[in-house]
Amino acid sequence: MSRIFSGIQPSGELHIGNYLGAVKNWVLLQHEFEAIYCIVDYHAITLKYDPAQLRVRRREMAIGLLSAGIDPSAAALFVQSQVPEHTELAWILNTVTPLGELERQTQFKEKSQRQESVNAGILNYPVLQAADILLYRADKVPVGEDQVQHLELSRVSSRRWNALFGRPTGRTTEDGAEEREAFFPEPEALLTPTRRIMGLDGQSKMSKSMGNTIGLLESTDAIWTKLRPAVTDPKRIRKTDPGTPEVCNIYHLHKGFSSPPTVEHVAHQCRTAGWGCLDCKKVLAESMEQELVPIRRRAAELAQDSQLVDDALETGAARCRVLARETMDAVRDRMGF
């Protein structure tokens, strides 16, 4: 069975962008693949943070993931810092990763433009991502389109390390060079089927830092308060104006939460000006309610029973420590340590 790895930052409570863009897909994939899901707290410290809040957010994220359907008996769910080999392998991969490749990363350019002083962790962030994936020798990585460039870097690091330290196979390559074992696989992208979820402002990706999110565990009333004024097709000014559902974020949220016949109905009503945007949002709110009420209930149970959360994370970490040690024993051996 192929192994998949994916990580999420401990940003606290999940929002519906994380849920539709990644986690809902993780829940499906956990039964199809050997799945490893990681709360990446080492990644979270590349930007300024409060240590006490980091613990709270890590726990909130674990509760969110478990209540959204990650099943610790099917997938290994754990916190990155509980398996220190992640940083050891990251250091090693730093020594084979070209600096130019890191400086070219779009996310590095974007993040560093927003900072007064840029730390090396922001530059090396994708190397730690490569280590996360390669530590478990994962074959596939569920990612959104904005992560494909980082994944390509993992493939570069894997190829470079294999070429330098993979054991000779005794064969020669087509161009006559000594062939070496592919100890690390070149992980492939498993593109998330849901397109990027935009924020309620319709301007940028849904993200906490932009303040344009709906939390996965927010109450019915709180969700409606946010949904009601959310941006729709800007050209649909009057109720009688036909709209273009494809340019409207509400339509894309319907695709995430509503049944296929409802999505079809939404598109028809929008194009023919058969209803107003508020009617459309009310139907969306009902679809969200159906999906989110059981998740909220489960989250409330988990918040009351911290042992259940601890046990789930420890079971995942114990499994990952074994895999990580196996990889690092082989890596150290091949590198002469």
* Active-site residue set: 111, 205, 208
How is residue 53 written in tokens? 């809040």
Closest to ligand SF4 by CB, 58 or 281: 281
Cβ atoms within 10 Å of 198's Cβ, excluding its own: 19
Cβ atoms within 10 Å of 186's Cβ, excluding its own: 16
Separation of alpha carbons 180 and 170, rounded Å: 8
283 binds ligand SF4 (CB under 6 A): no
Closest to ligand SF4 by CB, 86 or 236: 236
Closest to ligand SF4 by CB, 58 or 236: 236
Separation of alpha carbons 13 and 3, rounded Å: 27
Closest to ligand SF4 by CB, 198 or 266: 266
Q: Binding residue for ligand SF4 (CB under 6 A) from 40, 77, 151, 250?
A: 250
Separation of alpha carbons 25 and 38, rounded Å: 15
Closest to ligand SF4 by CB, 187 or 245: 245
Enumerate residues 6+ apart whose C-beta is below 8 A from 112.
118, 122, 123
Q: Which stretch binds ligand SF4 (CB under 6 A): 11-19, 205-213, 230-238, 304-312?
A: 230-238
Q: Binding residue for ligand SF4 (CB under 6 A) from 35, 227, 270, 312?
A: 270
Q: Binding residue for ligand SF4 (CB under 6 A) from 180, 236, 255, 319?
A: 236
Q: Cβ 173 to ligand SF4, closest distance in Å? A: 54
DSSP string, 18-85: HIIIIIHHHHHHTTTSEEEEEE-HHHHTTS---HHHHHHHHHHHHHHHHHHT--TTTSEEEEGGGSTH
Enumerate residues 6+ apart whose C-beta is below 8 A from 269.
275, 279, 280
Q: Cβ 293 to ligand SF4, closest distance in Å? A: 23
Q: Binding residue for ligand SF4 (CB under 6 A) from 39, 70, 122, 280?
A: 280
Q: Cβ 241 to ligand SF4, closest distance in Å? A: 9
Q: Is 171 left (phi over 0), alpha (psi -120 to 50) or beta?
A: beta
Separation of alpha carbons 148 and 268, rounded Å: 34
Q: Cβ 242 to ligand SF4, closest distance in Å? A: 9
Interface with ligand SF4: number of residues (CB under 6 A): 12
Q: Binding residue for ligand SF4 (CB under 6 A) from 245, 258, 288, 302?
A: 245
232 binds ligand SF4 (CB under 6 A): yes
Burial of residue 315, with CB atoms counted within 10 A of its CB: 0-12 exposed, 13-18 middle, 19 or more buried? middle
Closest to ligand SF4 by CB, 215 or 243: 243
Q: Cβ 238 to ligand SF4, closest distance in Å? A: 11
Report the interface residues with ligand SF4, using CB under 6 A. 232-233, 236, 243, 245, 248, 250-251, 266, 270, 277, 280
